Amino acid sequence: MKLLKRLIDWIDVRIGVREVAEKELTGYLLPRTINVWYSMGSVLLVIFGIQVLSGILLLIYYVPDADNAFKSVTSIMNDVPFGWLIRMCHAVGSNMMVLVLLLHMFSVLFMGSYKSPREFNWLSGFILFTMVQGISLTGYLLPWSQLSFWATTVATNSANAIPVAGPYLVEFLRGSKLVGPPTLGRFFALHVALIPLGMAALIGAHLFFLKRTGVSTPPFGQADSTNQWKGGSYQYEDHPGGIPFFPNYALEDLRSVFIYLALFLAVVFFDPYLFFPKDAFLPANPLVTPAHIKPEWYFLANYQTLKIFPNELIGLSVQAVAMTFLALLPFIDRGRERHPLKRPLFLVCAIGGLLLWLGLSVWGHYS
């Protein structure tokens, strides 16, 4: 114990750890009315960590080459000690990440935390959302199964609908006219290097914005006198009299993380193939098109939107408008009120949008 104290003292003199811990942990105060929804961001950080770690372990045996990719994944599942566990954690984790991401987005939407001055928190989060979609799409191709091959063929094909640039874009994405070995090469580079590095940088920016503007006070219960707009200027104080991040809220974060881990591991151990259709177990065959090729559950609404319009360009444009609207929401919805029940227009649009998304997803699943 004495030795540990001396070691900490030694380090403290050089880099001032105690001061940083006091300022950022015990002295970092959060609103007293903070609720469980605010722990979703920490759960996402843990999921990102698990994805990076399991991904690095998979890289040891995975071979990014069209002739060997499927074989290498089969060998990870059957021969490599605990390879199945690492792969299942990575595959199930990617689906769970989207689920928690959606919960995080819904909570900031319903509590109005995206509103001024948190536009950058929202925008950096929105870019992270598109990056998570990108990392899932590129990861889907890597096992080089029938599902990988044909799902990527369908997904990249939709860019063909864009006038003039469409065919060039498709060829650029695929690296050739059809999905093939060059597509695997570029998707691999995007999946293991470019997108994760971009995500790490954006998570840093997201947390910086969070520190800069301060955590929002939940719109329920007692209002907070600080961290608010006053006469046109914004006050960046912390929440005096609030609860310390460490140990109080860190323990609440930890509770959410453990509940998440219990659910996640329950899927990994008891229903590991929950997110795997049967075409995921067959090697890619460019000559045999499977009867029903469906994207992952969170892309089903996009997939169905492309199908219901007579031409794909309309389907793509509708989606582009919806995404742009969502990205710019803090600049469109400028009212100060954050309580969901006191924002009837928002409530109708949000619940309507959610039901539409769910309806399209279910329709896409059964179509």
Q: CA 160, CA 13: separation in Å to the nearest integer?
A: 61
The DSSP string of 291-317 is S-----GGGHHHHHHHHHSSSHHHHHH
Interface region with ligand HEM, contact rule CB under 6 A, candidates 121-129, 156-164, 230-238, 354-362: 121-129
Q: What is the Cα–Cα distance from 235 to 227, expressed in whole angstroms?
A: 5
In 181-205, which positions are buried (b, 16+ CB within 10 angstroms) versus exposed (e)?
Answer: eebbebbbebbbeebbebbeebbeb
Q: List the interface residues with ligand HEM, window 205-244 (CB under 6 A).
A: 206, 210, 215-216
Binding flag, residue 203, ligand HEM (CB under 6 A)? yes
By C-beta, is 313 or 329 nearer to ligand HEM?
A: 329
Sheet strands (E) in 138-283: 229-230, 233-234, 243-244
Question: According to CB under 6 A, which one of 122, 150, 245, 264 is a site residue for ligand HEM?
Answer: 122
Nearest residue (CB) to ligand HEM, 105 versus 316: 105
Return all residues near 222 (Cβ < 8 A) that are at least 6 apart: 32, 33
Q: Please give the helix or strand (H or E) that residue 29 lies within, else none.
A: strand 29-30
Q: Is the Cβ–Cβ distance between 238 and 213 less than 8 Å?
A: no
CB atoms within 10 A of CB 79: 10
Stretch that binds ligand HEM, among 123-131, 150-158, 237-245, 349-357 (CB under 6 A): 123-131
**Residue closer to ligand HEM (CB basis): 130 or 311:** 130
Closer of 54 and 152 to ligand HEM (Cβ): 54
- Give yes or no for residue 126 binding ligand HEM (CB under 6 A): yes
User: 3-class SS at 243?
Assistant: strand
Of the two residues 118 and 174, which places its CB atom closer to ligand HEM in the complex? Answer: 118
Nearer to ligand HEM, 104 or 343 (CB): 104
Q: Rule CB under 6 A: is residue 51 a binding residue for ligand HEM?
A: no
Position 20: which residue type? V
Q: If binding is defined by CB under 6 A, does position 118 make contact with ligand HEM?
A: yes
Which of residues 87 and 118 has its CB atom nearest to ligand HEM in the complex?
Answer: 118
> Residue 260 CB, nearest distance to ligand HEM (Å)?
13
Q: List residues bridging with 229 in a β-sheet.
A: 234
For the bound state, the minimum distance from the C-beta of residue 251 to ligand HEM, rounded and expressed in Å, comes to: 15
> For the window 31-50, what string marks contact with ligand HEM as x by the rule CB under 6 A?
-------x-xxx-xx--x--
Nearest residue to 40 (alpha-carbon basis) of 257, 233, 262, 248 = 257
- Nearer Cβ to ligand HEM (88/101): 101
Binding mask 95-114 for ligand HEM (x = CB under 6 A): ------x--xx--x----xx
Of the candidates 350, 331, 323, the one whose C-alpha atom is nearest the C-alpha of residue 119 is 331
What residues make contact with ligand HEM under the rule CB under 6 A? 38, 40-42, 44-45, 48, 101, 104-105, 108, 113-114, 118, 121-122, 125-126, 128-129, 203, 206, 210, 215-216
